[in-house]
Amino acid sequence: MKKSRLYTLLCSLEVEELERCDDFLASPYFNKNEDCLHLFRLLKPYLLDDELPPDKEDLLLSLYQNKSKINSLNTLISQLTRLLDEFFIQEQLSERPYFKKHLLLRNLMRREQFKYFETVYNNTIESYQKVQRRGVSDYHDLFLLTYDWLEHNNKTKPSKKEGHPSEAINILDKYYVIQRFTLSREAANLKRIFSMDYDEDALNRVVYLAEKLGLLNHFFVDLYYTNLLTITAYENTQHFERLLELIDKYHLVLSLEELKVFFDTCMNYCIRRIIDGHLKYYDTLFKIYQKAADYGALFVGRYMPAQLLKNIVTVGGRIKAFDSTEKFLETHIEYLKPDIRDSMYYFNKAALYFDQEKYQQVLDYLNRMDRLDFIYEVNRKTFILRAYYELDEPIAYDSLSHSFREYIRTQRHISPQRRQGYLNFIKAMNRLYSIKERKTPEKIKTLENKINNYTQLNSKDWLLEKIAQLKGDLKANK
């Protein structure tokens, strides 16, 4: 049951969504089979408590008091899966109020309920004009509403032509140009990451069209075009700086989804600049993280991704913004999923203490962590191994070094390259520890060359930093 499509889909629901799904399944309009609701409610406690689901035999007993009705259960699972599909559609519709009004207007027009049509249309447009935050989908839905009105006029006032198609055309032009810039951004990213072909002439044609129609002056089109230029004209930092200015200027009228898109571009731009050696962008990246948090653009649904919080703490520690990073951690840890919240707090607290060279506190916090996934377990062991090195704890270091190596070797799901990167790190660490007290210029140089020559190596920057320290110690002792 755990690996079934139904249970996988159910596991993707948040607590509030599970409650809405319960209401949905309890409605006879959507669900004609009460056994589907019964099956859902049997599974629901396991979903809420994040426990393994019951096996099919237990479900058969609960539903039918008969273990032989496996075909009936399989049919029921299929029916509930299809109902879940319909629930997802209803959830998506609930996020598109103007699209729902468009569907209502189409229905009213088909029924020739023209007076009520006009009431619904006028109220919808009035509501639309009051909305503060808008996204690309809203322009699409406004086009549909405007087109509905034109069609209504053609049917009810054929000689009086209220409204004009040009209004719908202008809205459609904005939507089309924005979507083309969005697709061009995706194509540019694919070209950069995977060296895929990218038709720059197609982009030039869209830019020409936008200029001809005067759309580049529209703030939303301008934002998407500047967002694209930040990626395609990477060396020109003015586009990046202007994108930040536009975000500041319009963040109150952009949907949170749009804000995430623009902030993601800014974050990725900084990361590219850092990789290229422009380390001043660490400070810029940290400020962008803080601003995105202030604007509510760091969340996926109700929660902040754990990896994102880890990245923020890593960058804050790197620039030694310890107080503001700790404050950020304390105020945002509650936005992580409850089942990982405590462990992620301990992990990030330890990471911050490591950057402050408070190695005993690092060990204290990491030892409080529950085991999470492979990546966090490897990061935890890496931090502890480095802390033992800094604290000069040879027995603890040696024990962890051996168990860490065996742990990596037993992980069959990781790629050979990744495995080699971890094993090379342990090998380099062991060599580093062995020459720590008996360092000579020759030994240090040999290890430094080895570290630089590894094609797969974790924590390379930290290892080279330790090499530089050993060199400094030698110089100081001369």
Give one DSSP letter per residue of 342-388, joined into a string: HHHHHHHHHHHHHHTT-HHHHHHHHTTPPP--HHHHHHHHHHHHHHH
Does the structure show a pLDDT above 70 at 112? yes
Closest CA to 224 of 205, 246, 198: 246
Structural domain range at position 135: 97-163
Angle at 237 between CA 235 and CA 240, to 5 degrees: 120
Query: How many beta carbons lie within 10 A of that of residue 128, not counting itself?
Result: 16
Q: Which of 163, 184, 218 is the last residue of a domain?
A: 163
Q: What is the pLDDT of residue 399?
A: 97
Q: Provide the residue count of the chain.
A: 478
Does residue 417 sit in the same domain as residue 475? Answer: yes
Query: How many beta carbons lie within 10 A of that of residue 52, not counting itself?
Result: 10
Q: Give Cβ neighbours of residue 146 (< 8 Å, ≥ 6 apart).
A: 163, 167, 168, 171
Please write the tens of the pLDDT for every residue from 372-407.
Answer: 889 999 999 999 999 999 999 999 999 999 999 999
- How would you label 23-39 residue by residue, b for 16+ Cβ within 10 Å and e otherwise? ebbeeeeebeeebbbbb
Does residue 473 sit in the same domain as residue 383? Answer: yes
187 occurs within a structural domain: no
Q: Give Cβ neighbours of residue 59 (< 8 Å, ≥ 6 apart).
A: 1, 39, 42, 73
Does residue 39 sit in the same domain as residue 79? Answer: yes
- 363 pLDDT tier (thresholds 50, 70, 90): very high
Please write the tens of the pLDDT for every residue from 1-44.
Answer: 767 899 999 988 988 999 999 999 999 999 999 999 999 999 99
- 241 pLDDT tier (thresholds 50, 70, 90): very high
DSSP string of 256-285, one letter each residue: HHHHHHHHHHHHHHHHHHHHTT-TTHHHHH
Q: What is the pLDDT of residue 369?
A: 92
Q: Which of 41, 60, 94 is the last residue of a domain?
A: 94
Name which residue leads in pLDDT, 105 or 65.
Answer: 105
How many CA within 13 A on the CB side of residue 12?
11
Q: What is the pLDDT of residue 20?
A: 96
Does the structure show a pLDDT above 90 at 349? yes
Does residue 46 sit in the same domain as residue 104? Answer: no
Q: What is the pLDDT of residue 4?
A: 87
Q: What is the pLDDT of residue 203?
A: 79
Q: How many domains, the chain?
A: 3
Taking every pair of Cα atoms in the chain, the longest distance, rounded to a whole number of angstroms, is 100
Spatial distance between the Cα atoms of 238 and 216, rounded to a whole number of angstroms = 17
pLDDT > 90 in the chain, percent: 74
Does residue 110 sit in the same domain as residue 157? Answer: yes
Closest CA to 284 of 298, 305, 301, 270: 270
Q: What is the pLDDT of residue 17?
A: 93
Spatial distance between the Cα atoms of 299 and 119, rounded to a whole number of angstroms = 37
Q: What is the pLDDT of residue 478?
A: 65
Name which residue leads in pLDDT, 158 or 62.
Answer: 62
How many CA within 13 A on the CB side of residue 2?
7
Does the structure show a pLDDT above 70 at 163? no
28 occurs within a structural domain: yes
Does residue 90 sit in the same domain as residue 109? Answer: no
Closest CA to 316 of 347, 274, 359, 348: 348
Does the structure show a pLDDT above 90 at 313? yes
84 occurs within a structural domain: yes
**In the predicted model, what is the mean pLDDT of residues 460-465?**
94
Q: What is the pLDDT of residue 162?
A: 61
Mean pLDDT of the chain: 91
73 occurs within a structural domain: yes
Please write the tens of the pLDDT for every residue from 245-254.
Answer: 999 999 999 9
Spatial distance between the Cα atoms of 432 and 418, rounded to a whole number of angstroms = 21
Spatial distance between the Cα atoms of 186 and 224, rounded to a whole number of angstroms = 12
Does residue 53 sit in the same domain as residue 71? Answer: yes
Contact in structure between 347 and 310 (CB atoms under 8 Å): yes
Does residue 119 sit in the same domain as residue 54? Answer: no
Does residue 10 sit in the same domain as residue 70? Answer: yes
Q: What is the pLDDT of residue 474?
A: 85
227 occurs within a structural domain: no
Q: What is the pLDDT of residue 273?
A: 96
Contact in structure between 380 and 344 (CB atoms under 8 Å): no
133 occurs within a structural domain: yes
- Claim: this prediction has a pTM higher than 0.85: no
> Environment class of residue 239 by beta-carbon count within 10 Å: exposed (0-12), middle (13-18) or buried (19+)?
buried
Please write the tens of the pLDDT for every residue from 398-438.
Answer: 999 999 999 999 998 899 999 999 999 999 999 999 998 88
Does residue 17 sit in the same domain as residue 116? Answer: no
DSSP string of 387-449, one letter each residue: HHHHHT-HHHHHHHHHHHHHHHHH-TTS-HHHHHHHHHHHHHHHHHHHHHSS--HHHHHHHHH
Q: Which of 67, 94, 121 is the last residue of a domain?
A: 94
231 occurs within a structural domain: no
Name which residue leads in pLDDT, 227 or 134.
Answer: 227
Q: What is the pLDDT of residue 133?
A: 84
- 161 pLDDT tier (thresholds 50, 70, 90): low
Please write the tens of the pLDDT for every residue from 212-225.
Answer: 999 999 999 999 99
Residue 431 structure tokens? 């060599």
**In the predicted model, what is the mean pLDDT of residues 334-338?**
90
123 occurs within a structural domain: yes
Q: What is the pLDDT of residue 160?
A: 58
Q: What is the pLDDT of residue 67?
A: 66
Q: What is the 3-state secondary structure (H, E, C) of 103-132?
A: HHHHHHHHCCCHHHHHHHHHHHHHHHHHCC
Spatial distance between the Cα atoms of 364 and 349, rounded to a whole number of angstroms = 10
- 63 pLDDT tier (thresholds 50, 70, 90): confident
Query: How many beta carbons lie within 10 A of that of residue 449, not counting itself?
Result: 9
- 269 pLDDT tier (thresholds 50, 70, 90): very high
Q: Measured in Å, how far apart are the chain's first and last C-alpha atoms?
A: 69
Does the structure show a pLDDT above 80 at 200? no
**In the predicted model, what is the mean pLDDT of residues 93-107?**
96
How many CA within 13 A on the CB side of residue 366?
24
Does the structure show a pLDDT above 70 at 277? yes
Contact in structure between 282 and 318 (CB atoms under 8 Å): yes
Does residue 30 sit in the same domain as residue 129? Answer: no
Does residue 382 sit in the same domain as residue 475? Answer: yes
Query: How many beta carbons lie within 10 A of that of residue 421, not counting itself?
Result: 19
